[in-house]
Structure 1
Amino acid sequence: MDGVLSQEEINALLNEPGAEASDSAENELSDAQKDAIGEIANISMGTAATTLFSLVNHKVEISTPVVSYGTWDDIVQEYEKPCVFIRIAYTVGLDGSNILVLREHDVKVITDLMMGGDGTNTDGELGELHLSAISEAMNQMMGSAATSLSSMLNRKIDISPPNATVINLQEDIDEAEIDSFLTGKFVKISFHMEIGDLVDSTIMQLYPISFAKDMCDGVAKTMEMDSQSVTADSSAANSGNPAGAQPAAASAAAQQSQQMASQNTAQMGQPMGQPMGQTMMGNTMMNQNMGQPVNVQPAQFSAFAGGNLGNYQPENIDLIMDVPLQVTVELGRTTKSISDILDLGPGKIIELNKLAGEPIDVLVNGKYVAKGEVVVIEESFGVRITEIVNASRTGGK
């Protein structure tokens, strides 16, 4: 009315630079938030590494995380070969999801170790067996990580079963095949992972920026509540112990100090190396400046109870009960030269190392586990198990 433009009108004429600055700020994390995300990831992946150790029975080391921003082009450049995207969605306590990116070789090694192998069976392409096994492994790993996160955020955290997908980054990816937050700017957390001498690689955890901020806010609120609780406890302690009132324990210690002092009146000076203003008397240190005795006692520790580590069983073993294993029945073996193999033809008989009526061998994923006998079930052959064999004692086959 007076011919002066309002701030809103000025922003509109200048394409609302204030709004753009606000949007930019919403898509950035402060240094404190980055540190908080790094600490959350460090604690969570440390717990997950312990769980992975129980699954693969090999030493697992995951380094301190490095927090940065990332885009889809960054992922394509760092992972040239096909890799596995594992999506973990939070169902309770947090609203959102994050993605773990593992290399193809790492998934094969972890899967082989979970199946009882030595981690060297990495030939062939990734199949449903690999994806099923790595999903179960991540379900347990991220489940334990969610428990740690629940303590940090002071609320219950739960996840849905992880979903593993093979992504070939060398090909054009349809945006419908990936999470929407991967099409823009997101938080990238990089870890260096080692599994024995089999894996020396890098894994990544990808967060939407809004999801990362939600976790930071949760940690900040938890720290604030803890600080208020400590302040309240301190106030209550001070109110329950008025100035000038000395506890009974301190009074007893003072009496003991006086007795010890009367016995040592013949001694002059203080022991060398003792701080000025303090006198050590028996188990009590007296601060001469403050006049308040401090009771000093040797630390006592309870003895460790012996436990049978051999009976240790990984938790949540039911989660991998549906992982398929290959069962092979071996009738017998023999050794032939190349010339003998070339002479093979229809009607040729090959003599095996098994005697007639001798039990046959049952192998699971190539490991010798049982003996049995051949039976016929309607029109199909079957095996009746007669003995379970300890593969570690027999050396396997």
Structure 2
Amino acid sequence: MDGMLSQDEINALLAGMDTSGGGDAGGGDAPADASADAPADAGGAPSGSSGFQAAEIDESLLTDDEKDAIGEVANISMGSSATTLYSLVNQKVNITTPQVELANWNTVLDNYEKPCVFIQIKYTVGLEGTNILILKEHDVMVITDLMMGGDGTNTDGEVGELQLSAISEAMNQMMGAAATSLSTMTGQKVDISPPVATLLDMIDDDPSEISDFLTGTFCRVTFKLQIGDLVDSTLMQLYPVDFAKSLKDTVSADGGDQSEAPAEAAPAPAPAPAAPAPDMGMPAQDMSQMGMPQMGMPQMGMPQMGMPQMGMQMMPQMMMPQMMPGMNVQPAQFQSFAGGNPAMAAGENIGLIKDVPLEVTVELGRTAKAISDILDFAPGTIIELEKVAGEPVDVLVNGKFVAKGEVVVIEESFGVRVTEIVQ
């Protein structure tokens, strides 16, 4: 009653501990076993995972210069991808400057919303390697709804085969544009295989089943993705470290000759300040008769000091003919935003998603009933619809009214003959 244990109760508790621990020797072994298991639990994957234990991140695998180069390549590639995504969703798309860092599977689990969609892309021509794009489930629902003609707000439910097929096609177009940009940078053809999209829970998934490089340290490139007012999220791209290094080396090797050529050619004209007089075929004092330095000479009172100034002013003009042959000069091309045909543009966009399956529904009619009437429903109840007998039925595609038709019978199945397309 006073909260104190009697000696008999203490003896009973001690006896119970000896019985469960198997004696003094057993009691001494139990803590050792528990302590042996503790590091495995502490260093393993999060609770509820497949038991995969990620290795520590090796920060020495990439230097700061390599990270900057990889970020620049990713920035140019995603710039092309953003333009392609704009044409698919007809919304302003902004993909910000990337952040490049080394990561492992645990850091991806900690920093990204679950479940999410993994899109795996393999390079087949020009480059050898694999990269993975990770999108949040909500972002995929918004993008696919916009691709199918919606307003981007139909995001209820889970990602299904329809959404995975649509986002795979979108990523195919986006990464195809990125491959074209890489072709320009590397000077060789770059091509990809069709992307494969998968909805993953991540916590219960073994990364080795997704891709082998996810079991160690890999390169993670993070972008800020904005689509109109509908999406303000994060897009993640994962590279194997070896592929990231080869990508940086390939771009640097192919672009190095062009970038170094002007730097080597620039010092050549520098020691030629005195060259204008011989090139123009007249002595230095004769240049004062051209009338060009007349405004400066009376004020200075020293004609000889006016000559170097004029020579320096004329040098850029004289250097340009020497540098022009080594430059690749092309006229700027800009997209026209006026005078376009919206119908033609829509026809071009729809061609990108012709293989995406859509749900077609034929609606015989509708009616409105009070809750009390619905509670009285029983087998045999007749419900009168608002449509008149013989009136055309409505054909809906993904819930949107697109056509009218009449019901027909094809052997043993019902069918609909389209009689009118709703504009």
Q: TM class, shorter-chain normalised?
A: 0.7 to 0.9
Aligned partner of 1:100 in structure 2 is 133
Describe the shift of the 1:304–1:178 C-alpha distance in structure 2 as closer, same or farther (beyond 3 A): closer
5 Å-filtered alignment, 1:189-338, equals: 189-227=221-259, 230=262, 244-246=278-280, 288-290=310-312, 292=314, 307-310=339-342, 311-313=344-346, 318-338=351-371
Quick one: which of 155, 161, 165 aligns to 1:128? 161
Q: Which deviations, in whole Å up to 9, do the C-alpha atoms of 1:238-271 show, x marking residues without a partner?
A: 9xxx973459xxxxxx9xx958999x9xxx98xx
Aligned partner of 2:147 in structure 1 is 114
Describe the shift of the 1:132–1:374 C-alpha distance in structure 2 as closer, same or farther (beyond 3 A): same
Distance (Å, rounded) in 2 between the aligned partners of 1:73 and 1:302: 45
Q: In structure 2, the residue corresponding to 1:345 is in which secondary structure?
A: coil
Deviation at 1:125, TM superposition (A): 2.3
Aligned-residue sequence identity (percent) comes to: 59
Aligned partner of 2:116 in structure 1 is 83
Query: How many correspondences in the alignment?
Result: 336
5 Å-filtered alignment, 1:148-159, equals: 148-159=181-192
Q: In structure 2, the residue corresponding to 1:312 is in which secondary structure?
A: helix
Q: Which deviations, in whole Å up to 9, do the C-alpha atoms of 1:17-48 show, x marking residues without a partner?
A: xxxxxxx9996222211111111111111111
- The question of whether the paired residues in 1 share the 8 Å contact of 2:208 and 2:215 is answered with no
Deviation at 1:369, TM superposition (A): 0.9
- The question of whether the paired residues in 1 share the 8 Å contact of 2:208 and 2:214 is answered with no
The higher radius of gyration belongs to 2
Aligned partner of 1:16 in structure 2 is none
Aligned partner of 1:183 in structure 2 is 215
TM-score normalized by structure 2?
A: 0.70
Q: Name the aligned partner's letter for residue 206 of structure 1.
A: L
Quick one: which of 372, 376, 384 aligns to 1:343? 376
Describe the shift of the 1:292–1:124 C-alpha distance in structure 2 as closer, same or farther (beyond 3 A): closer
Structure 2: segments with no counterpart, 5+ residues? 1-56, 282-286, 300-304, 318-331
4+ aligned runs moved over 4 Å, structure 1: 24-27, 228-238, 257-262, 301-306, 313-319
Describe the shift of the 1:365–1:40 C-alpha distance in structure 2 as closer, same or farther (beyond 3 A): same
Deviation at 1:68, TM superposition (A): 0.5
Considering only aligned residues, what root-mean-square deviation do their CA atoms show, in Å?
Answer: 3.6
Distance (Å, rounded) in 2 between the aligned partners of 1:383 and 1:195: 38
Deviation at 1:237, TM superposition (A): 11
Deviation at 1:50, TM superposition (A): 1.3
Structure 1: segments with no counterpart, 5+ residues? 1-23, 248-253, 270-276, 279-285, 296-300, 391-397
Deviation at 1:184, TM superposition (A): 0.5
Deviation at 1:236, TM superposition (A): 11
Distance (Å, rounded) in 2 between the aligned partners of 1:148 and 1:211: 17
- The question of whether the paired residues in 1 share the 8 Å contact of 2:207 and 2:215 is answered with yes
Aligned partner of 1:58 in structure 2 is 91
Deviation at 1:197, TM superposition (A): 2.0
Question: Could you say which structure has the higher helix fraction?
Answer: 2
Distance (Å, rounded) in 1 between the aligned partners of 2:404 and 2:226: 37
